[in-house]
Amino acid sequence: MNVHAHPVPSHPEWSMIRIQATEGLPPAFVRPPLHLCLLLDVSASMDDEGRLENVKHSLHHLLGLLTPTDRVSLVTFSSRATTILHQAFLTDVEALRVTLSCIRTESNTNLGAGLVEAKKALFRDPGSQCVLLLTDGFATSGVMNADALLALAQPLAEHSVLHVIGYGEGHQADLLTRMATVGGGSYHVVCNKEDVAVVIGDVVGGLVSCAFQQVTLTLPPCEIKTRYQVLHSDTSVEIKIGDLMENGEAIVLARMPIGSSFHVDARNRVTGAVDTTWAMVYATEEPRLHAMGVAHWLRWEVVTIMEAVAEHVETFGLMRSLSLLALENRVVECLTAIRDTRAMSSDYEAALWDLLTHELTICQTMMAGGASTVHLRQHGATLSLMRGISSRMDSVSSANGLPPLSLSRTFSNATQRSWSDNMSQQVVETHPTPLRGDASVCFTNTPLSFEGSMPPPLSLMGARGNARAYALFPPAASVAAAASSAIQETQDMF
């Protein structure tokens, strides 16, 4: 891990702190088994536009990309939360797919109950595990207060990383953004089955390629500019960055003079040890670092503009006012600063310049009435935390009506892109026939659980699955041959 800090030339009282996982995981590194906990909204609205089916299709393909020693937990929530799979090994993928296919939509959205239930599915050792929350709406039953829901999400971050996906534009974007920040993960917006596949691929690819976990930056008391979770005390400022992928980086702006010292703690995924790296703010005359400092200062300015535009439009709409005019002027001034800085730093060409320009174009589009605040908030979260994939919306524009894919993936590494591409390609090329059944028949009251060091054979008899459906899927080599007829026979049962 490399840690550097130097003053920002345009604002020398501020320093840019850069934390990099510069080296990839060694070729001989054997990744530990993953544990993916899926927290899935099955409220009635998930039937709209085939949302639940799209998610199930992506999960169907994801199971085929994991290894038999990986584990999956599945918690659904509507008016109540239900554990469908508990730390299940992937020794029998086809049987797990049957279980997934039996999930049906129900009624309300009790997000709080889902968060509580998901915590029960996690291992106490953080290891390589994450919670992936997917919802399309607001909490409509149980705990509905935003601060109370954040308090329920906080314990998940003690043992895992929480990634959040909002489906469509009707969800509570501000809450989900804060929830991802508290959970040390990313926030995404998806609108179709391809989006779902790409985002799930990015999240799992990040889990696979994680180089450092529980990254924490500790500074002396000072003013900071960041959207990572921050804990203040009388003697320090602690910034919770979370996981850092191979070849990834995190940037924080802090008001610290030259000579100020600080440290970064991180769990090295290769050695398992907690590494502590000390550094100090130093002066530099290197043009590339100067350009980088200004670029990230402008990145922060763009983030604050995006948040201000979203808040203004959500509160006042598009009514012409002095405050809206002031925001329009800020956008123009920032675009000018980006253009001028880029011209003076022609040796430092990076995707960040194009990304910042693109995000400001989205702001202009929104103020003209052509973009969604949900997408704007998600783009702001991606830009501020420097992780995740920016949503691609038809309202903002390249030649085909979508922003270039390279910009939407600016902060994803090669492994994440590979997983996303693989997932997306499989979902587009195949459209598996869903197994649909009555939830009361498909799932009993006994969670599917596996204990011990060796993965046991998966049996759905008497557990959370349809025993008759499982009987149609014999193990080992005969699974593939029997799959097609078994699916049809299982559907005929309902």
With b meaning 16 or more CB within 10 Å and e meaning fewer, what string describes 16-49? bbbbbbeeebeeeeebebbbbbbbbbbbebbeee
CA pair distance 225, 468, nearest whole angstrom? 57
Half-sphere exposure of 482 (CA within 13 A, CB side): 16
On whether residue 421 sits in a domain, the answer given is yes
CA-based torsion, 343, 412, 21, 415: positive or negative:
negative
Q: 328 and 455 share a domain?
A: no
pTM of the model: 0.82
Task: Name the helix (H) or strand (E) containing 198.
Answer: helix 193-208
227 and 137 in one domain?
A: no
- Asked whether residue 6 is domain-assigned, the answer is yes
Phi-psi region of 462 (alpha: psi -120 to 50; beta: other; left: phi over 0): left
Same domain, yes or no: 432 and 478 = yes
> For residue 90, which of 120, 55, 134, 60 has the smallest C-alpha distance?
60
Q: Contact at 8 Å (CB) between 153 and 182?
A: yes
Q: Determine, yes or no, domain membership for 86.
A: yes
Give the pLDDT score at 128.
Answer: 83
Domain count, the chain: 3
Q: Which of 228, 133, 136, 226 is nearest to 173 (CA)?
A: 136
What CA–CA distance (Å, rounded) separates 480 from 95?
A: 11
3-state SS of the chain: helix, strand, coil percent to 5?
A: 40, 20, 35
Boundary residue ending a domain (248, 280, 312):
280
399 shares a domain with 350: yes
The CATH code of the domain that includes 485 is: 3.40.50.410
What CATH number should be reported for the domain holding residue 226? 2.60.40
What secondary structure letter does DSSP report for 365? Answer: H
**27 lies in some domain:** no
Record the tokens describing residue 269, joined without a space.
Answer: 């995924």
In a domain, 28, yes or no: no
Does residue 49 lie in a domain region? yes
Classified as helix, coil or strand, 262 is strand
Does residue 398 sit in the same domain as residue 439? no
What is the separation, in whole angstroms, between the first and last Cα of the chain?
55
- Out of 412, 433, 457, a domain closes at 412
Are residue 349 and residue 387 in the same domain, yes or no? yes
Instruction: Tell me: do 114 and 185 sit in the same domain.
Output: yes
Distance CA 95, CA 112 (A): 29
Domain boundary among 262, 280, 298: 280
Alpha helices, H only, 82-131: 93-101, 111-120
Q: What is the pLDDT of residue 318?
A: 83
Q: Would you state the pLDDT for residue 124?
A: 81
Give yes or no: residues 67 and 203 share one domain.
Answer: yes
Q: Is the same domain home to 88 and 158? A: yes
Does residue 182 share a domain with residue 45? yes
| Token code pair at residue 300 | 């922060």
Buried b (16+ CB within 10 A) or exposed e, 65-80: bbeeebbbbbbbbbee
Residue 75 lies in a domain: yes
Residue 415 CB contacts under 8 Å (≥ 6 apart), including other chains: 205, 206, 208, 209, 245, 246
In a domain, 26, yes or no: no
Structural domain boundaries enclosing 126: 35-208+417-493
Q: What is the mean pLDDT of each run of 10 residues along the chain (494 residues)?
A: 94 96 79 92 91 91 91 94 93 91 90 94 83 91 92 90 91 90 92 90 92 94 95 95 92 96 93 93 91 93 95 87 92 94 76 90 86 88 92 51 69 92 82 43 39 34 31 35 41 39
Virtual torsion, Cα 480, 481, 482, 484, nearest 10 deg: 80
Same domain, 294 and 334: yes
Tell me: do 183 and 202 sit in the same domain. Answer: yes
151: nearest Cα among 179, 125, 173: 179
